[in-house]
Amino acid sequence: MTDTAVREAPLDRVSDFPAIPPGWAYLDTAATAQKPQAVIDAITRGYAETYATVHRGVYQRSADMTVAYEAARAKVARFIGANTPDEVVFVRGATEGINLVAQCWAATQLKAGDRILLSMLEHHSNIVPWQMAAERVGAAIDVVPLTADHRIDLDAMERMLTERHKLVALAHVSNVLGSVLDATRATDLAHNVGAKILLDGCQAVPRIAVDVAKIGCDFYVFSGHKLYGPTGIGVLWGRGELLDRMPPYQGGGSMIDRVTFARTTYAPPPGRFEAGTPHIVGGLGLAAAIDYVEGIGIDRIHAHETALVRDARDALSAINSVRLFGPEDSAGIVSFAVEGVHPHDVGTILDEGRVAIRAGHHCAQPLMEVLGVDATARASFAVYNGPQDIEALVRGVERVTRIFG
């Protein structure tokens, strides 16, 4: 399919996704996105036709694969507005990216008495690594509350920040609520007190335009599998001067300059943080996913998902026993609860009607406490969803209410 055909085709792109059979409403994209045929084809070619190691071989296929792999890194850099591909570190996913910064920056730069600022809606992956780093160096963690409509309260954050805060780590888009952070303002607030800021972009990158240079943040992470790409590949972007000062995360091949038993010197970033044979074909699959998203247009995707969220919230709010969470303009995600029914039961009954949602605490247990629930049901949208999926969701929830009275 040509780029022109991609742009001109209807945005309900379910036909591009071979793993979505007719009549199945897949509404769990916030957990992981289905893969378009273009990505599957790129992965298949990578293993079946062009596969070779990268960075080491002197034979032609290895050289060609190295060029393709590094072209994928350059494509990621352009996609998120990075100044240079050398600031893009390939990792297994956002979780590894956050852990890398926690161990290689926070655990080496922070000291006893320093403070880290998080928010109440963070994913466990943006909480636990900072707790581990804080315990290691004797730092403390503060938590920004939410506004009444379930956004990170930046006014409260401004009041809380002090010069003792050295790091701020926030979700760009909440994986539970879909609430979008004013990332530029959050960055300015952090920098005003001399703190560095990391943004978790897992839910943002597939849904809204991201430009790390314009935002001004210091670190940005995301996972490829939420961007219609393969699992096992993700991105840590960091400012070059920060990466230069960070020690390596792991030791092994590729991350070295010279090894002797007396002393080892390390490669410059990003190689310093990419020990061992990388997920080569994962990088190619991620590049194909970016091509797919850019062929449609991220603004068009965002408008499509925003319309689906609006229609889903309107339809669900008409059911008396349904409680909705998050702001009205959430990005691609609707979390809800049915009064008197556990979300796992909601998910099971919806599955009987061929509607796939996520039910649980969504790796955000502190947020569940704030919401006053143990878990929520969550529907999340993508380019392969349309009005028929919302209709199926609402029919399923109505069936839940009938079954449970």
Residue 160 above 90 pLDDT?
Answer: yes
Evaluate whether 385 touches 334 at the Cβ level (below 8 Å). Answer: no
How would residue 3 be classed by pLDDT, with cut points 50, 70 and 90? Answer: very low
Quote the tokens at residue 180. 């979008």
Spatial distance between the Cα atoms of 150 and 276, rounded to a whole number of angstroms: 42
Give pLDDT tens digits for 11-59. Answer: 779 999 999 999 999 999 999 999 999 999 999 999 999 999 999 889 9
The total number of residues shown for the chain amounts to 405
pLDDT more than 90, % of the chain:
96
CATH number, domain of 125, equals 3.40.640.10
Evaluate whether 393 touches 350 at the Cβ level (below 8 Å). Answer: yes
Partner residues linked to 197 by β-bridges: 168
C-alpha distances in angstroms, 346 versus 20, 72, 247, 377, 404? 21, 40, 47, 7, 10
State the pLDDT at residue 7.
37
State the pLDDT at residue 219.
99
pLDDT more than 70, % of the chain:
98
Residue 261 above 60 pLDDT?
Answer: yes
Q: Which of 237, 259, 294 is the last residue of a domain?
A: 294
State the pLDDT at residue 56.
86
Residue 170 main-chain phi, psi, to 5 deg: -140, 150
Contacts (Cβ under 8 Å, ≥6 apart) of 390: 308, 311, 312, 315
Let me know whether 323 and 276 are in one domain. Answer: no
Give pLDDT tens digits for 292-348. Answer: 999 999 999 999 999 999 999 999 999 999 999 999 999 999 999 999 999 999 999
- As for how many domains the chain has, the answer is 2
CATH number, domain of 12, equals 3.90.1150.10
Spatial distance between the Cα atoms of 264 and 71, rounded to a whole number of angstroms: 29
11 within a domain of the structure (yes/no): yes
Q: Which of 233, 259, 294 is the last residue of a domain?
A: 294
Contacts (Cβ under 8 Å, ≥6 apart) of 393: 25, 27, 312, 315, 316, 350, 355, 357, 379
Let me know whether 251 and 391 are in one domain. Answer: no
Let me know whether 301 and 177 are in one domain. Answer: no
Comparison of pLDDT for 81 and 9, the residue scoring more? 81
Let me know whether 21 and 60 are in one domain. Answer: no
34 within a domain of the structure (yes/no): no
Residue 94 above 70 pLDDT?
Answer: yes
Contacts (Cβ under 8 Å, ≥6 apart) of 2: none
State the pLDDT at residue 6.
35
Residue 386 above 60 pLDDT?
Answer: yes
How would residue 4 be classed by pLDDT, with cut points 50, 70 and 90? Answer: very low
How would residue 162 be classed by pLDDT, with cut points 50, 70 and 90? Answer: very high
Let me know whether 354 and 303 are in one domain. Answer: yes
Let me know whether 260 and 358 are in one domain. Answer: no
Evaluate whether 119 touches 93 at the Cβ level (below 8 Å). Answer: no
- DSSP-assigned letter for residue 86: G
Domain range enclosing 9: 3-28+297-404
Q: Which of 277, 294, 311 is the last residue of a domain?
A: 294
Let me know whether 199 and 244 are in one domain. Answer: yes
State the pLDDT at residue 12.
76
38 within a domain of the structure (yes/no): no
Let me know whether 301 and 165 are in one domain. Answer: no
Residues known to be catalytic: 363
